[in-house]
Structure 1
Amino acid sequence: MFGRKNKETETPVTTEPEVTDRDPQAGKGAPTPKRSVQQAQNKRPLVPSDRKLSKEQKIKEREERQRQFRLANETADERYLLPKDRGEQKRFARAFVDARYMFSEYLMFVLLAFIIVALLIQDISVQSYITLAMWAVLLITVVDTLIMTRKLKKRLLEKFGTVERGVLWYAATRGMQFRKLRLPKPQVARGEHPQ
């Protein structure tokens, strides 16, 4: 068992015949280049020679992007809008929000006025009333936004059958922006509700 193997039971090992008539230059066809030659081939300039061309190209591309961005924000053309603004439901939500009068679009101005008054008047009792008024304004804003999103959801379900994910949040954040600063710019007048 652990002893020598019998010569009869051993399997013969087959070896391939050695090739003796190989040409020594057949593998590469050329001598190995020196290290200095190889390193010189790998060197590239740190500053490319066509740098001015690429600067001009970048300026043209930047101007084209800015033109498309302005065009998209002024006309709300779907081709040029950012991905977050594209879609039939988001267009409807924009029109729905832009047609409404919303308290939340004046939130920043009201809060800024409260902060200025609180800084000017150092009376503790007045500042406590200002703090309560700020909380009341925030509560009114939340209620106004909830009412708007519920109405929008109802209208989206009537028109499209489903509500895409993120459309209601998109409408709520748009409603908190001052109307003249909204992007894309409003395409409907106040009171001109979408059908």
Structure 2
Amino acid sequence: MSNTSDASAKKGRPTPKRKEAQSKRIVSSLAPASTKEEKKRARQQTRASRNATRAAYLRGEESALPHRDKGPARKLVRNIVDSRKSIGEYFLPIIFVVLLLSIFPVAALQYGGIAIMYAVLLTALVDGIFLSLKINREVRSRFPGTSTKGLGLYGWLRSTQMRRLRTPHPQLKAGDSF
């Protein structure tokens, strides 16, 4: 009734050494899941889908937009901003010119450049306030009941970007009606 006969029976092969057993486990776990060609094909498919999504985002398709850009109110804000020119668009190039003027050791050029920079900054801020008021008024009239929280800042920040660098790309040209 005891299992001594089963325990003393030989299994027909020697017990593997610990080193051999561990190396066998490691080799099987490190085996590549796929071939190089499959990985290359997967990378190409991922790249193609990423490029298609980015192109849709740049075109302004609603399905490809991130949460901060989605919705009809945000689209209206983008159209309001893109339909007009603002001094904020030129702020970065003006800052670059001021930087170049500050290189010259002429104090009048340096002070003049700084004065121009502050004047443009102040003008951009005032323009942003008026733009924000216009955006909130338009959104309230076209989408009653929609919250206007953050839309003014969203529009002002978009208006301070150079037109070519805005994303999603502008749908309207400057001067078009929104």
Query: TM-score, length-normalised on structure 2?
Result: 0.78
Aligned 8 A contact 1:78 1:86 in 2? yes
Structure 1 CA distance for aligned equivalents of residues 131 and 24 of structure 2:
67
Shift of 1:176: 0.9
State the partner residue of 1:175.
159
* Structure with the largest fraction of helix: 2
Stretches of structure 1 lacking an aligned partner (at least 5 in a row) = 1-20, 25-30
Structure 2 residue 27 is matched with structure 1 residue 60: no
User: SS of the residue aligned with 2:134?
Assistant: helix
Structure 2 CA distance for aligned equivalents of residues 131 and 49 of structure 1:
61
Structure 1 CA distance for aligned equivalents of residues 102 and 133 of structure 2:
35
State the partner residue of 2:75.
91
Structure 2 CA distance for aligned equivalents of residues 114 and 137 of structure 1:
11
Query: TM-score, length-normalised on structure 1?
Result: 0.72
Stretches of structure 2 lacking an aligned partner (at least 5 in a row) = 5-10
Identity, in percent, stands at 24
> In angstroms, what is the RMSD of aligned CA positions?
2.7
Structure 2 residue 139 is matched with structure 1 residue 156: yes
Q: Say how many residue pairs are matched.
A: 165
Aligned 8 A contact 2:132 2:151 in 1? no
Aligned 8 A contact 1:69 1:81 in 2? no
Aligned AA (2:58): N
Seen in structure 2, the aligned counterparts of structure 1 residues 48 and 165 have a Cα distance that, compared at 3 Å, is: farther
